[in-house]
């Protein structure tokens, strides 16, 4: 996966500058700015940090659920046998 050159906080800062017409000084294409605006249009830096924290928490919870589902499947398989 390609690593981003700019952090989320930096992207929000560039978007704020671009509203005033300063997007060209960062050598960012208009298409990239449009994509960023679509994803993070009205966000502030604190919003981006919260979004990132929630995404990490969501990933952690998904891993926990996947582990529990695997354990339940194993227990069902073991309990289904006639001993």
pLDDT at 68: 98
The pTM score is: 0.58
Contact (CB, 8 A) for 45 and 15? no
pLDDT at 24: 59
Report the Cα–Cα distance between both ends of the chain, in Å, rounded.
48
pLDDT at 1: 56
> Residue 52 is encoded by which pair of tokens?
């990132």
CA distances from 8 to 12, 15, 46, 64, 74 (A): 6, 11, 10, 27, 41
Q: What is the mean pLDDT of each run of 10 residues along the chain (83 residues)?
A: 74 82 71 85 83 94 98 93 72
Contact (CB, 8 A) for 8 and 48? yes
């Amino acid at each position: 996966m390609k690593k981003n050159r700019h952090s989320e906080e930096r992207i929000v800062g560039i978007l704020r500058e671009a509203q005033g017409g300063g997007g060209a000084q960062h050598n960012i294409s208009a298409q990239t700015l449009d994509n960023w605006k679509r994803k993070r249009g009205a966000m502030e830096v604190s919003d981006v940090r919260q979004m990132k924290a929630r995404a990490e928490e969501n990933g952690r919870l998904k891993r926990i659920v996947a582990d529990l589902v695997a354990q339940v499947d194993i227990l069902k398989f073991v309990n289904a046998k006639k001993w």
